[in-house]
Structures are given as C-alpha cells and as structure tokens.
Amino acid sequence: MIGTLRRLPGAGAIALAASLLLSSATSLAAQDPASGAATDPLSAALAHEDAGRFAEAAGSYRLLLNAALADGTSADQIALALLGLERVWQQAAMRDSIVPVVQAVLAARPSDPIARSIQFRALSGAARDVDLHAAFMAWRDAAPAEAAPWREYVRTLMAMGRPLAADSVLAQASEALGGRRELASEVAQIAATLERWNDAAHAWRTAVEVMPYLEMAATFSLQRTPEAARDSVRRVLLEQPNALLPRRLLATLETTWGDPRAGWAALASARTNDSTLLAWSEFGERAEATGAWSVARDVWRALFDRVPDAATGRRAAQAALSAGAPAEALELSLRAGELMSPQERAQRLLMVDVEALGALGRAEEAAKRVRDADRYLDDALRADLAKPLVTAWLRAGDVARAREVALQAGALDDDQTIGWLALYDGDLVEARRRLVRAATRDAALTDALAVLARTRVERHTGLGEAVLALARQDTANAVARFAAIADSLDDAAPALLAMSARLATLTGTSADAVRYWKRILSEYASAPEVPEALLEIARALERDGDIAGATARYESLLIDHPGSAMVPQARRELERLRGRIPEAA
Amino acid sequence: MRAFTDTSRTRLAGRAWVRALVAVVLLTTASVARAQSLLVPMDDGQRNHLKAYGLAFQAIKSSQRAEWFLNYRGGSFLLPDAADLRRRAALDGISIEPVSDADVSRIRVEVAGGNMDAVVLERAPRVAIYRPKDQPPWDDAVTLALTYAGIDFESIWDDDILNGDLSKYDWVHLHHEDFTGQFNKLYLAYRDAPWFIAQRQRDEATATRYNLPNVPALKKSVADGIRTFVENGGFLFAMCGATESLDLAISAFAVDITGPFSDGTPVASDADARLDWERSFAFRNAHIEPSPYVNALSDIDGHQVNVPARRQPLGTFTLFDFSAKLDPVATMLVQDHRTVIPDFFGVTTSFNKAVLKPGVTVLASEDGAPWVKYIHGDYGQGSWTFLGGHDPEDPQHAIGSAPTDLSLHPNSPAYRLILNNVLFPAAKKKPRKT
C-alpha cells in the first residue's frame, strides 16, 4: 500500500494516505495483545513494541495517529504516534515507511515540529538531500518567523557531517531572522566543529546566557580547545559585562584542563550574588572531590567570609587541614565554633582541632580540649579522637603519653600503633613482629621495615629515638641520629646511611646527603644501596656543574650495576645531560 | 727414594699446575675467540631499537666494519666486538648478542637461503637537517630521532642552501617547511602570534638579502636548490608538510600559486594548468587549493587534517615486502619489527594515489584507502623518500604541544622508518636488479 502511495504524485498521495489511515482506524481493532481484550491503541502499541512485535506495534501506533488526527486537537497523541512509528519501523528496517505518514500529517499540520524533525531524520538517513532541502523550505515558508526550521535543518546537516553547509544555512538564518541569538548553540557547535575556537567561545557565551541549560554542552564542546587557543577562549568568557554563567563555564573548563586554581580565579571574579555563592559552593564540592584541597580551602573560606555559617566554616577548616595548613584550620575552626553551641562544637569541630594541634606539635593543648569537651562526647567519638591524640603525643615526642592514650582507647590490639610504639622504645623484636602485620602500608612503614629487615639486633634505643625524631617531623635531628647509629648497627649501616641521605636531601642539606652517599660507596661497596648512592652523587655533581663527574657516575651505575632498579633513572638522567631528550620532559 | 718421591711429587704437581694453566689459557682464548662479532637484533628481542641505529652509525663512523642483515631478525646489524661498542650498548640499553665466526657463518647461510640479504655499511653519511636557528613552536621528528639515537647532524637553513652549501652533505632532511611560501596558511589562525610574526619577518629579511621580491620567491629558490641537490646525487628525506609543499614549489616555479596574504597578489587564475610536473619528485596533476581560508595547499594530502570539513580519520598503514636481494634500497627503507603501524597526522598526512607519478615506489599504504603513506623514488642521480605525518608517537600533535620524549618510545616502529632512511645512504651500492 505504501508502495502504491509512493507512485502517486505529491498532494494526491498525501490525501489518499490520510484517507487510508483514517479508514484503517475502523478496520483495525485495538485489542489487548496478550488476552485479546480491547484496550486503548497507545497501551497496545507500547506492549507490542516492548515484546518486539514491531508490525503489530506499527498497526497500533497508526490507529492512535488516525484517532488523533481525526480529533484534531491532541498534538501530544500525534507526536507519540509518530515517534512510536519511527522507532518500530527503524527496528523493522522499514525506516522509509515513515515518510508518507509524516507527509500526511504535515498536510494537516505543516509546521508541526515533531513531524518535521522526523521527516528530516528520515530523509537525511535515506540520503535524499534534495527532498530534505525541499522539506526545509516548506517548513520555513510555513513558519517564516520561527527559528525552529533553521535550527532543525542545521542540526540535521551537522549530523550528516556537513558543517560547512550548516554554516551557510546559519548565515541565511541570520538574515531571515534578523540575528542569530536564537540559534546561538548551533552557531557555537558549528564553530567548534570547524575549530574556530574564538567564534565558538563567543557563541557559547551567548548561548548559555540565553539558555543556561546548555552549559554542559558548552563545556563538552569547548574542552576540546587546543592549548594554543585557550587564551582566546578565556578572554571571551571573562569579557565584560561580568556575568556569572560564562565565568562558571570557564571555571569548569579550567578544571577540565587540569588547573582548578585558575578555575577558581575565574569564578571568584564573578559579581557576587546568591547565584554566585551557590556556584562557589558547587565548585568547592568539586574541588574537594578531586582532592584539590588548597583550592577547596580558598573557596570555602571565601564563602565563609561572605556568609558566616558554621557548616561552611567547618568545611573550610577541614579543607585547610587537608591542604596541609593546620594553623589556618585552627583559625577557621575557632571562627566556626563561635557560631555553634559547645556541644555542637565538640561533636563537629573537635576532631579538626585535635588533628591541627597535633600537626603543630601542641599535644598538651589538644589533650586539654578533649578533656574539656568530655561531657559532650560519646564513646565512639572518644575512640575516634584517640588516634589523632596518639599522633599528637608522638609528634610532641612523648611516647609514654601516646601509649597511655592508646591504652585508654583500647588500641593495644592494633598492630600498627603498637608496632610503632615498640619501635620508638627500641624494642626491635616486637616492632618487627607487629609492623609486618600492619593493615596499611605507607612510605614510613616501608622504610622502617626495610631497616628492621637488615639487622638481627633485638633492642636498640638509638634507632627508636631516630625514628621518633622522624615522627616528630624533627627531620634534621633524625638525619643526624640515623647516621650516628650506623656504626652500632653495622649490618643495617648502609640502609641507615641511605635513610639519612634521603632525609638530608628533603631538608635541603644536600652536602650532608652527598657525604652519606659517599660513605656508602667507600665503606660498603657491595651494599644494595650503592646504585642509589651513585645516582644521587651524580645528580649532586650535576647540580654543582660538574658534568664530567656526573656523567662518570651515571655511566658507572649503568655499566657496573646493569640489573639495578636505578638503571632507567640513570639512563634518563644521562640522556637529558647529553641533550638527547627534550628538557621539558 | 723419599727425595725422589718428593721430587716426583713436586714434578707431578708442577705438571698438573702447568696443565691447569694451559687449560685456563685455552678456555680463555676460546671464550675470547667465541665472541668476534656483536649481533644487534632488531626484532622484539631488542630493548632499544632507536638507539641501535646510533650504535651502527658509531661503528661506521669510526671506520669499523658494519653489516645490515636485511629481513634477518627485524633487520639486525652485525658489528665487530669492540670495547667502545659494547660500552655504548651498555650505556644506551641496547641489546647485543656476542657471536662467533661460526655463528656468523650460520647466519649468512640462513640469509642466503631466504628473502634476506647482507648489506655492508661503508661510510657514515654527512647528514643535514633543514631547520631554522630559532626553532618554531613545533618539533621535528627527525631531529628528535637523530638526537635520541646519537647520530651526528648539522642544521642548515635558507642561506646555506642559497649559498650552495648543500653539496657538503650526503643526506638532507626536510620536515615542516612550506616551500610555497604561504607559512602553511597558519596566517588564518596565528597571524598575531609572536612566533609567527618573527618567522615572517625573518623570511622577508632573507628574501630582501637575496634580492628576491617576497617569501614565496625565496622558498621557491630554496626548493630548487634542494631539487638540484637530489638531481646531482643527494639523498632527500622529507616528512609532513615539506613533502607536498616542496613538490608544489618545484612544479610552480614559473607560476603564482600563493594567495595575497603571502605575496600581495592573487593566485594565477590558470595556476593549475601551468604547473610543470616534469620537474617534481613524486606528484603530478594535483590541484592547488586557492582559497586563503582553507588550510590546505592542494589535494595531494588524503587526510586534510587542518580542514575540519574534509578531515579523514586515522587508520593504520602497512609496510610492503620487497625482495631483499633484488630491491635492497626499498627493503632497507621498510626494515621494521612491525608491519602494521598506527597512522599519525601531519600538515600533510598521506599522499593520494591519484596524484602519484608513475614509477614512484610505494613503501606503505593503508588498506582500502585512496592514499599511501610512505613513498620513494629516484631523481637524476639521487633519490628521495617522503613519509607523511608529523610525529609518529604523537598522532594528534598540535602547535604548542610538548615535544615527544623518545626515551618513552624506544621501540617505536614508525620512528624506525626515519632511521632506516638515515642509514641507507651508508650502504655500499649494489646494482639494482629491478
């Protein structure tokens, strides 16, 4: 029947199709697909479609369409029926079949946007470019003041991979509609497709100002901007007037490009109002989620300064602590605490305070705060506070108080805590036994186990003191202590000297580091630390401008220790020294 | 008796000691004799393919005998077992296998029996790279490869070519230059960029120095100098935009194919018809792109990466097999441990088959695509090789991107193609049999 229709000329075919559709409404009985009982055509169509009975579903959708067309007022029903027919015929590999049906609908409703968009999709899918253009012209003539025909045609051309053609159509739209503001998103998409990034930024700026829901689309589009063109995008989005949406878009882009601080700078410069503050809050949450703690701290602090709110202040304090700024965390916590009751303060801020005070080595004050707030604490919070308090005492160098807190909190079955305490006491047997079973591993634990594995000595107070100095972040003291005990723990001496050397490098006393590395080379020539010593001495010599000396050490490492894990680093340093790989790398 | 016995014991002990000493000496000699050569495998057993070329180059540069075993274990090298080579291999992380004369004989038998050949590498070629002193913000894959492999080269620029200095070299490489003088049409996007302004001023000053009216005229003169170099027996290797623009500049010697933004005059209306393809290396009957707004020079490139509406996606290209004994040059150029290699974009990424001259040897192409990737040909007494694309290990390389660190790609099969080109002029010439 559709084949017959296709052979008939235009208007006649459409009229006939319409009459056939209408007549078929009476001949097709709408029945429950499962039971055979009569039901409404839409339910039947959906049930058939769900069950994969596409021919039957098409029949039901046509019933629905005919009824809706006869009614003449239910645009929703027409849209449902047309979209349903498009789906099921596509599934049944009969995509073309939708064309005459849509034409029948368009005869009655020439500017129906759903019917037109389906028509565009069908014609573009069938590569009927001439018919597609004719359909666009017909829609444009039917709705000369509307942007919809232009928009749909442009989108179709874009989907067909013809951005230059779409660009031409947009230029015509601009003349026809007296401006392209309504088509800003299409302009932007085409500009981005054609990699005209400056134009794309302008168009997206316009688009998100008119249609804020397009912000995500703008982000996806502009995030492809190559590095060399990003400055122009930044300039456009920061242009006056100072509007929130373009700056929020830039903030997201900067974060996507790997610089959340630049993102915050863009957003922070937006004129402040409620919407801006909400945007700041969302940005702060994203910064937290990505671990950009110093940015998160700045965001929450800025919010807290504008709107002093206890929850925001606590968040700012927590972010400052995570960013490694305990003094700032304390200051923020103090301000936030002023907005809370004593109980609230204990329950929501005490943990931050104890951790911050511990990091600052103020264990006595941390303990006092816990004691003062004791009446507001439950058992669970008390237990949670024990760990930072133990850390605080250790940081302060008071192992006995740390042990006491751990004992009170029932942490003596925790291998890690007890292992570390044993090590600080110089009980190497207990430390070895406990630490090897520790649930979590970090760099400090790995270093400790490496030293413990290199000696059979059972008790060594000096080693405990050295490790404790390190725990107290008294690195200079730790460097000296590790080096000093090397002689008394001969089997672990190269490991201890290497530890001293690494710590000395961290503290910026590279001369000391080189001295320790050289000791390893001269006194422990067969130690496993020798390749690392060669590498570090070479690096030090290079820093001092002794290129020949550095080269000789790198080469010695590569030739004499070809199996060392340091070989890739040494080879890379040598390549760089010889200018054979880019300096930036 | 006792004395006799003691003496006998002493003598016996002495003999035993002498026998042991002789045995040790013999064993030592045997072990020394066993490793008379170093085989540098170039198959998957090699840890650093790119540096291996530098090792072979060092051997021939220091007048040591080197051989290239084409198609044997990925195109491996046979070098003398010299201390300096062993040391360099250890420093550079190059896999080497000490082999005895007997091993070498066995390898030669295997090479003689298959599609393989042994080519003697005679003399280290004198290598020049055409690159400006103030490098633009993109890098050159050949400069990267040679620097990383430790192969010596010199940089030359327009003045050197116009002064006739090309004859000092055996091998010259071109990379990104637009020899039509249109600055790769980057005028559209980068006309205000400081590096672009500096580049333009530099070229205009050079043109003035040589009494040439504009940059296109300057670059055409340079292109003709390169053409003459090849005609007289030089080896030319070009990549990226230099391939297409060089042939366009050479064939457009007498016609204006550049837009007003570069020389102040429009493109000649009959420019296409007046191109002289007799002069070009690789292409014929190509059509120039006259629009200043379309970032392409012609229809030679199949991928057109800088024209978004025409851009074709990247696929993979396949190296062709050649007869090592009958066609050693082409075989040398495709020595690799991979035959299918991921493609990479460049100002010119590929070469449409439709515009290739008859007689051009296609070394690699993409299956089913209308373009090829890697081509070679003879011209006068010399030869040329064109490889499309910019940086094999940065397929989407853009202006401003960080240069590629080849220590992260020591086994790059596509970079090997570049180094094949550097080494093949060192091969002792055999008469070509096809």
| SS3 of A387-404 | HHHHHHHHHCCCHHHHHH
Say which of B190, B309, B403 has its CB closest to residue A164. B309
Q: Which of A10-19, A406-415, A455-464, B270-279 is predicted least confidently? A: A10-19
CA distance A508 to A525: 26
Query: Per the structure block, which two tokens stand in for A274?
Result: 């409620």
Q: Measure the N-to-C terminal CA separation of chain A; round to a whole number of Å.
A: 69
Read out DSSP for A20-51? Answer: HHHHHHHHS--B-TTT--B--HHHHHHHHHHT
3-state secondary structure of B418: helix
A324: left (phi over 0), alpha (psi -120 to 50) or beta: left
A162 and chain B in contact, CB less than 8 A: yes
Residue identified by tokens 């007022």 is: A73
A contacts of B95 (beta carbons < 8 Å): none
Query: Per the structure block, which two tokens stand in for A381?
Result: 């919070």
Bridge partners for B120 per DSSP:
B67
Confidence at residue B125, expressed as pLDDT on a 0 to 100 scale: 92
- Of B374, B356, B358, nearest to B366 by C-alpha is B374
Confidence at residue B3, expressed as pLDDT on a 0 to 100 scale: 39
- Of B359, B386, B365, nearest to B318 by C-alpha is B365
Confidence at residue B418, expressed as pLDDT on a 0 to 100 scale: 96
Q: How many CB pairs under 8 A join A and B?
A: 61
ipTM: 0.76
The overall average pLDDT reported for chain A is: 84
CA distance B206 to B209: 5
pLDDT over 80 at B387, yes or no: yes
3-state secondary structure of B99: strand
pLDDT over 90 at A385, yes or no: no
CA distance A26 to A99: 23
Summarize pLDDT for A13-22 with one digit per residue, the tens.
334 334 434 4
Q: Which of A219-223, A330-334, A373-377, B269-273 is predicted least confidently? A: A373-377
Mean pLDDT of B61-71: 94
B contacts of A559 (beta carbons < 8 Å): 87, 90-91
pLDDT over 50 at A10, yes or no: no
pLDDT over 70 at A292, yes or no: yes
B90 and chain A in contact, CB less than 8 A: yes
Confidence at residue B19, expressed as pLDDT on a 0 to 100 scale: 59
Most confident of A156-160, B285-289, B309-313: B285-289
3-state secondary structure of B115: coil
Confidence at residue B319, expressed as pLDDT on a 0 to 100 scale: 95
pLDDT over 90 at B231, yes or no: yes
CA distance B87 to A84: 74
By percentage, how much of chain A surpasses pLDDT 70? 91
- Of B150, B156, B152, B151, nearest to B133 by C-alpha is B156
Give the pLDDT band (50/70/90) at residue B395.
Answer: confident
Q: Please report, for residues A204, A276, B19, the alpha-carbon distance to residue A268 in angstroms, rounded to integers and kept in the order given.
A: 21, 9, 89
CA distance B224 to B219: 8
CB B355 within 8 A of CB B284: yes
Give the pLDDT band (50/70/90) at residue A558.
Answer: very high
Peptide bond into B410 cis (omega under 30): no
- Of B374, B301, B303, nearest to B336 by C-alpha is B374
Summarize pLDDT for A224-262 with one digit per residue, the tens.
888 878 888 898 899 888 888 899 999 999 999 989 999
Residue B146 vs residue A41, higher pLDDT = B146
pLDDT over 70 at B16, yes or no: no
Mean pLDDT of A425-430: 90
Residue A531 vs residue A189, higher pLDDT = A531
Confidence at residue A20, expressed as pLDDT on a 0 to 100 scale: 38
Confidence at residue B134, expressed as pLDDT on a 0 to 100 scale: 62
Confidence at residue B170, expressed as pLDDT on a 0 to 100 scale: 94
Helices and strands per DSSP (H, E), number in chain A = 34, 0
pTM: 0.67
- Treating both helix axes as pointing N-terminal to C-terminal, what angle do A443-453 and A461-471 enclose, rounded to 10 degrees? 170
B contacts of A562 (beta carbons < 8 Å): 90
Read out DSSP for B144-181? Answer: HHHHHHT---EEE-HHHHHTTGGGG-SEEEE-S--TTS
CA distance A443 to A186: 53
Confidence at residue A270, expressed as pLDDT on a 0 to 100 scale: 86
CA distance A67 to A28: 12
The secondary structure element, H or E, covering residue B40 is: strand B37-40
Per-residue burial over A558-571, b if 16 or more Cβ lie within 10 Å, else e, is: beebeebebbebbb
Summarize pLDDT for A128-187 with one digit per residue, the tens.
888 899 999 888 888 887 878 888 888 888 888 777 788 788 778 777 777 666 777 788
A580 and chain B in contact, CB less than 8 A: yes
CA distance B217 to B211: 10
Summarize pLDDT for B45-65 with one digit per residue, the tens.
999 999 999 999 999 999 999
Q: Which of A 541-570 lie inside 8 A of B, CB atoms?
A: 555, 558-559, 562, 567
B contacts of A567 (beta carbons < 8 Å): 93
Rg (CA), chain A: 37
Give the pLDDT band (50/70/90) at residue B71.
Answer: very high
Q: Which DSSP category does B347 fall into? A: S
Q: Which of A141-145, B255-259, B404-408 is predicted least confidently? A: A141-145
The torsion defined by the Cα of A169, A174, A177 and A178, in degrees rounded to 10, comes to -170
Residue A97 vs residue B282, higher pLDDT = B282
Mean pLDDT of A413-422: 80
- Burial of residue A50, with CB atoms counted within 10 A of its CB: 0-12 exposed, 13-18 middle, 19 or more buried: exposed
CA distance B168 to A324: 61
Say which of A193, A226, A582 has its CB closest to residue B308. A193
Give the pLDDT band (50/70/90) at residue A42.
Answer: confident
Give the pLDDT band (50/70/90) at residue B15.
Answer: low
Q: Please report, for residues B16, B27, B315, B397, the alpha-carbon distance to residue B23 in angstroms, rounded to integers and kept in the order given.
A: 10, 6, 61, 62
- Other CB atoms closer than 10 Å to residue B361's CB: what's the count? 19
pLDDT over 90 at A454, yes or no: no
Mean pLDDT of A86-112: 86
Most confident of A324-333, B186-195, B304-313: A324-333
Tell me if B91 and A574 make a contact (CB, 8 A cut-off): yes
The overall average pLDDT reported for chain B is: 87
Confidence at residue B18, expressed as pLDDT on a 0 to 100 scale: 55
pLDDT over 80 at B21, yes or no: no
By percentage, how much of chain B surpasses pLDDT 90? 68
- Other CB atoms closer than 10 Å to residue A473's CB: what's the count? 11
Confidence at residue B157, expressed as pLDDT on a 0 to 100 scale: 93
Tell me if A582 and B404 make a contact (CB, 8 A cut-off): yes
Q: Which of A106-120, A177-191, A543-557, B266-280 is predicted least confidently? A: A177-191
Confidence at residue A380, expressed as pLDDT on a 0 to 100 scale: 83
pLDDT over 70 at B25, yes or no: no
CB A445 within 8 A of CB A435: yes
Say which of B87, B309, B398 has its CB closest to residue A559. B87
pLDDT over 90 at A585, yes or no: no
Pairing of β B171-174 and β B235-239: parallel
Most confident of A363-372, A574-583, B317-326: B317-326
Mean pLDDT of B234-238: 95
CA distance A341 to A338: 8
Summarize pLDDT for A491-507 with one digit per residue, the tens.
889 999 999 999 998 88
Give the 3-state secondary structure percentages of chain B, helix then strand then coil, rounded to 5: 40, 15, 45
Mean pLDDT of A191-214: 85
Confidence at residue B10, expressed as pLDDT on a 0 to 100 scale: 47
Tell me if A585 and B309 make a contact (CB, 8 A cut-off): no
Tell me if B407 and A164 make a contact (CB, 8 A cut-off): no
Distance, C-alpha B6 to centroid of its chain: 74
CA distance A453 to A503: 20
What's the angle, vertex CA B385, arms to CA B381 and CA B387, rounded to 5?
A: 170
Mean pLDDT of B288-307: 88
Summarize pLDDT for A295-315 with one digit per residue, the tens.
999 999 999 998 888 899 999
